[in-house]
Amino acid sequence: MTLSEAEAIERELAPPFSVMQPGELKVPLVFNSPHSGRIYPSTFLAASRLDPRTLRRSEDTFVEELFAFVTNLGAPLLHAHFPRAYLDVNREPYELDPVLFRDGLPHYANTQSVRVVGGLGTIARIVSESDEIYREPLSVEAALQRINRLYTPYHETLAALLLEAKREFGLAVLIDCHSMPSSPIADQGTGRPDFVLGDRFGTSCSAELTRLAAGQLKELGYAVALNKPYAGGYITEHYGRPHKAQHVLQIEINRALYMDETAFEKSAGFEQLRGGLETMVRALVTGTPGLAIPRAAAE
């Protein structure tokens, strides 16, 4: 990718992500929607063998809108404008698939992770569990441009939001917001629950936080699963440090609750779901002060 191409893509993506800030920071919660971006660069579309609708299947459509209310509660919301199929910030910075590139990868690239082997590295090779994205192999330069110009600034912003919460409240609670297809390709007829909460099997956040979120959702009548099939990705693993008063809980929402998955349009259930999410978040706001540890221990 030449510099001019990179600059053209940046213009299409301007800005590549946004932070919805509250008028006043009132709570230690930070919300993140890394996969809801739906601006597809023209050069990316031209390089893909797939039509735009197929590419969108990996998109967490409308998730940032579902959680937009959090600013009224005093919490920020970070969300990407670039799509997950173009760059996935819920991966290590250099989880790169050697099958995808025509030249050699740098020595520091992680080429053997489970996610890379599955085609879902930092630069995804597939969408919809099996559909190959690209017509031809990419240059490593193209991958590094995406990482340097989009991935790195995104994570710098996320880290800054968490640091601000910790400075203000003595703890930070990141809610990583995602959606999942209602029926995966390999579905055996059982479907999926309404929500999957991921806390890396109890390592990324306090068990109290997970119980609080799950309990509130169940009270609202939703079916909730824990850690299966989604325990949390790189963001949950990397930022979750409960012993340092930094907690991360991933939330996966069944898309059938709020959208037409074929037409990529909101359904009649959108507002009801948003109301339920607000009820859950208000419960988290009430419960999070008990997660704090003495500032001296957190530093």
CATH superfamily for 3-292 is Zn-dependent exopeptidases (3.40.630.40)
The pLDDT value recorded for residue 230 is 96
Global pTM value: 0.94
The pLDDT value recorded for residue 4 is 62
pLDDT digits (tens, 9 = 90+) for 72-110: 999 999 999 999 999 999 999 999 999 999 999 999 999
The low-confidence residues of the chain, meaning pLDDT below 70, are 1-6, 184-190, 292-299
The pLDDT value recorded for residue 47 is 96
The pLDDT value recorded for residue 292 is 59
Nearest C-alpha neighbor of 59 from the set 50, 47, 72: 50
Q: Map out the domains of the chain as residue ranges.
A: 3-292
Three-state SS annotation for the chain = CCHHHHHHHHHHCCCCEEEECCCCCCCCEEEEECCCCCCCCHHHHHHECCCHHHHHHHCCCCHHHHCHHHHHHCCCEEEECCCCCCCCCCCCCCECCHHHECCCCCCCCECCCHHHHCCCCCCCCEECCCEECECCCECHHHHHHHHHHHHHHHHHHHHHHHHHHHHHHCCEEEEEEEEECCCCCCCCCCCCCCEEEECCCCCCCCHHHHHHHHHHHHHCCCCEEECCCCCCCHHHHHHCEHHHCEEEEEEEEEHHHCEECCCCEECCCHHHHHHHHHHHHHHHHHHHHHHCCCHHHHC
